[in-house]
Chain A
Amino acid sequence: MNEYAPLRLHVPEPTGRPGCQTDFSYLRLNDAGQVRKPPIDVEPADTADLSSSLIRVLDGEGNALGPWAADIDPQVLRQGMRAMLKTRIFDSRMVVAQRQKKMSFYMQSLGEEAIGTAQALALNRTDMCFPTYRQQSILMARDVSLVEMICQLLSNERDPLKGRQLPIMYSVREAGFFTISGNLATQFVQAVGWAMASAIKGDTKIASAWIGDGATAESDFHTALTFAHVYRAPVILNVVNNQWAISTFQAIAGGESTTFAGRGVGCGIASLRVDGNDFLAVYAASRWATERARRGLGPTLIEWVTYRAGPHSTSDDPSKYRPADEWRHFPLGDPIARLKQHLVTLGQWSEQEHQAVTAELEAEVIAAQKAAEQFGTLSNGLIPSAASMFEDVYKEMPDHLRRQRQELGI
């Protein structure tokens, strides 16, 4: 007789589903100020504890606590606050514009605004970010023209990408923002290559790579870790763990009883796990990682723990696979509310100022949208010419494309 019981396939499940509240204890949180801050030349292996605990600075009352609570110029905090608010206002108006069929598609970053914003402020503008489709806050922090962004979203005659890309797949080289790919994870290893090039050329620029929890399952993620470690590439490897990848929970990507930051330690990379909804923690961890990279100490992997508060995209309905009000119960709260509370505590912000800035930014976004819509929208047909479709396939248009363009009659 066989002494073994039949094997069973383990398929991870989230604790919450529609009609059943999520138990967030799987997140294993620490209190603000609890986690140590090592020197920037720490041995990667000695960050193992930092890859499983959670670095937090802001407590529930808006106080900044512990070793990661650096002295930050209140101007930077105010700047961050504005960029986060602008991102949120922009997103909510663009979701409406999508519903009005002015654009084909949109993806918002609701609840994740602190991560791109604070890291962008910790980087130099000449450093290159290799983002996913959910880091529009980097563009906001770098004050990219809203009109140009909206023209891209509307695929209109002034779309800088000539109507070729889905909305939100921006490319803004001047603002250190690499062209976004629809194919997940490809940018992660490219960022490592860009950082290697900076080292090859004896430059001091660094790269910032971005990926979602779900996409870490792709081979390009693991390959990026190997290359970053081997060549000690000056790169920050950001994993945005917003708990969901469309309908699949982060455990399906391999987050069950381990962390994404833990992957870095296994590859010989200094790794941190950080509260992504805590602007101060994001800024402090990003500064730590930029210093390491710029001083030739190598890559840092940072897992940002956050929550995808909105649908995956305008094509998605999350109430089909998770509790409808889950964000309200997410223990790390709302990054904007938390920074606001801190700034108010510092006497650097007030409810009136919050209202005034919100109104001002709303007006700015509305004005930009109006200006952009004058150049057309996908629905009114004022789109880049069909002839432009044949450009940029090659540097010079080869004969076969010229003939095809003629065949189209343009």
Chain B
Amino acid sequence: MNDQSNSIDPGTAMTTTTMTMIQALRSAMDVMLERDDNVVIYGQDVGYFGGVFRCTEGLQVKYGKSRVFDAPISESGIVGTAVGMGAYGLRPVVEIQFADYFYPASDQIVSEMARLRYRSAGEFISPLTLRMPCGGGIYGGQTHSQSPEAMFTQVCGLRTVMPSNPYDAKGLLIASIECDDPVIFLEPKRLYNGPFDGHHDRPVTPWSKHPQSAVPDGYYSVPLDKAVVTRPGNDVTVLTYGTTVYVAQVAAEETGVDAEVIDLRSLWPLDLETIVDSVKKTGRCVVVHEATRTCGFGAELVALVQEHCFHHLEAPIERVTGWDTPYPHAQEWAYFPGPTRVGAALKRVMEV
């Protein structure tokens, strides 16, 4: 199924396979089910069928029904039972079918999962990973497109992670499963089958054309608190994550602005050092995310940059985000912060 290549990943010295994001996520769960008997995977449609996005395909056959199984359609039930399993000592990895459907589980996430360690002074922990596909770009309308990351980053005790490529997806998911803190693992569904730069009218690029699709076959992890510079540059720092990493990169190429694009990967806790070093170098900053603007994660990023880099800033920090409306269906591309809007912001900050 996967395209085995003979190349060796220099970081891990392992053979690699060309994978899509879906295959990389599956591979992470496979590795962890194999390594740790306490890992269990469940959620709606994830068992026999292998998930509506096929991320868990084949895992039930390989590990059995008490390790990988279907759950009733109750997000509060899924997260609540996962908290109970975590208290017993398991390491549940649950799938919420779409991030748009986590709301019924809010109480279990915010008041329970996130605070078990604190309120029991470490007697009980929630070593859970909640996987959720997020983001738009698939004509999913308002209930299959949301990016609710800021609702999680505001909750003390949660880690919030969002990979943008297969290599990071596998490494970050393994790190999340191993982590003793609860992790919200957001998967930009528009990236499942290829990097997407916002040019929705152009042919889809497959992952196989992208270097980050060379995924080591075995166990490795990517740290949960390290951002990565995906495009070095000198003019302006772009802080982003998920799908808009590719939008920012293409906007830099198209405008000729020498932007330094930082893929945050871990939203919270945040790699502030990488951000501050870059903004001090460039003196300018643009924040890009797909989520709504007001009180979005970008607001926190802007606050931190001005706290830490005020004297280095040469222009006001700009935000390019989804609009403050529910995610529309037909007007999806007027809503999505695509390369035109990001490019315009890059040019604006350069004119100051």
Q: Which residues of A approach B to under 8 Å, CB–CB?
A: 8-9, 11, 13, 17, 104-105, 155, 159, 163-166, 169, 181-185, 214-215, 217-220, 245-248, 252-254, 315, 320-321, 378, 383-386, 388-390, 393, 400-401, 404, 408
Contact of A383 among B76, B103, B325, B330 (CB under 8 A): B330
Contact of A182 among B45, B70, B142 (CB under 8 A): B142
Residue B36 CB within 8 A of the other chain: no
> A248 vs B97: C-alpha distance in the bound complex, in angstroms?
13
**Residue pair A401, B76 in contact (C-beta under 8 Å):** no
Q: Which residues of B approach A to under 8 Å, CB–CB?
A: 44-45, 47-49, 52, 65-66, 69-77, 100-101, 103-104, 139-144, 293-294, 323-326, 328-331, 334-335
Contact of B73 among A181, A182, A218, A389 (CB under 8 A): A218
17 A-B pairs besides A163-B329, A166-B140, A218-B73 with CB distance below 8 A are: A9-B69, A11-B47, A163-B331, A166-B144, A181-B143, A183-B101, A214-B73, A217-B77, A245-B73, A247-B49, A248-B49, A248-B72, A378-B139, A389-B328, A404-B293, A404-B324, A408-B323
The residues of B that contact A13 with a CB separation of less than 8 Å are 48
The residues of B that contact A320 with a CB separation of less than 8 Å are 49
**Residue pair A169, B141 in contact (C-beta under 8 Å):** yes
**Residue pair B334, A321 in contact (C-beta under 8 Å):** no
- List 6 tightest A-B contacts by C-beta distance, closest first: A182-B143, A163-B330, A217-B72, A247-B49, A386-B334, A166-B141
**Residue pair B329, A164 in contact (C-beta under 8 Å):** yes
The residues of A that contact B65 with a CB separation of less than 8 Å are 9, 11
The residues of A that contact B101 with a CB separation of less than 8 Å are 183-184
**Residue pair A253, B72 in contact (C-beta under 8 Å):** yes
**Residue pair A389, B49 in contact (C-beta under 8 Å):** no
The residues of A that contact B329 with a CB separation of less than 8 Å are 104, 155, 163-166
Contact of A183 among B66, B103, B325, B328 (CB under 8 A): B103
With A247-B48, A253-B72: A400-B294 Cβ-Cβ less than 8 Å: yes
Contact of B330 among A9, A384, A400 (CB under 8 A): A384
> A321 vs B144: C-alpha distance in the bound complex, in angstroms?
23
The residues of B that contact A247 with a CB separation of less than 8 Å are 45, 48-49, 70
> A219 vs B101: C-alpha distance in the bound complex, in angstroms?
13
29 contacts between A and B (CB under 8 A): A8-B66, A11-B69, A163-B330, A164-B328, A164-B330, A166-B141, A166-B142, A182-B100, A182-B144, A183-B104, A184-B101, A214-B73, A247-B48, A247-B49, A248-B45, A248-B49, A248-B73, A252-B70, A252-B71, A252-B72, A253-B72, A315-B52, A321-B49, A378-B139, A386-B331, A390-B323, A401-B323, A404-B323, A408-B334
Of chain B, the residue at the smallest CB distance from A316 is B52
The residues of A that contact B75 with a CB separation of less than 8 Å are 218
> A246 vs B69: C-alpha distance in the bound complex, in angstroms?
15
The residues of A that contact B143 with a CB separation of less than 8 Å are 166, 181-183
> A217 vs B104: C-alpha distance in the bound complex, in angstroms?
12
> A385 vs B328: C-alpha distance in the bound complex, in angstroms?
11
> A384 vs B294: C-alpha distance in the bound complex, in angstroms?
25
Of chain B, the residue at the smallest CB distance from A254 is B72
Of chain B, the residue at the smallest CB distance from A214 is B73
Of chain A, the residue at the smallest CB distance from B141 is A166
The residues of B that contact A386 with a CB separation of less than 8 Å are 331, 334
- Report A153 CB to chain B, min CB distance, Å: 11
> A401 vs B66: C-alpha distance in the bound complex, in angstroms?
49
The residues of B that contact A164 with a CB separation of less than 8 Å are 141-142, 326, 328-331
Of chain A, the residue at the smallest CB distance from B140 is A166
> A220 vs B74: C-alpha distance in the bound complex, in angstroms?
10
> A371 vs B262: C-alpha distance in the bound complex, in angstroms?
50
The residues of A that contact B328 with a CB separation of less than 8 Å are 163-164, 389
> A214 vs B143: C-alpha distance in the bound complex, in angstroms?
18
> A321 vs B45: C-alpha distance in the bound complex, in angstroms?
10
With A218-B104, A401-B325: A389-B331 Cβ-Cβ less than 8 Å: yes
- Report A167 CB to chain B, min CB distance, Å: 8
Q: Which of A13, A104, A253 has the most CB of B within 10 A?
A: A104
**Residue pair A184, B73 in contact (C-beta under 8 Å):** yes
- Report B335 CB to chain A, min CB distance, Å: 6
The residues of B that contact A252 with a CB separation of less than 8 Å are 70-72
> A214 vs B69: C-alpha distance in the bound complex, in angstroms?
16
The residues of B that contact A321 with a CB separation of less than 8 Å are 48-49
**Residue pair A389, B325 in contact (C-beta under 8 Å):** yes
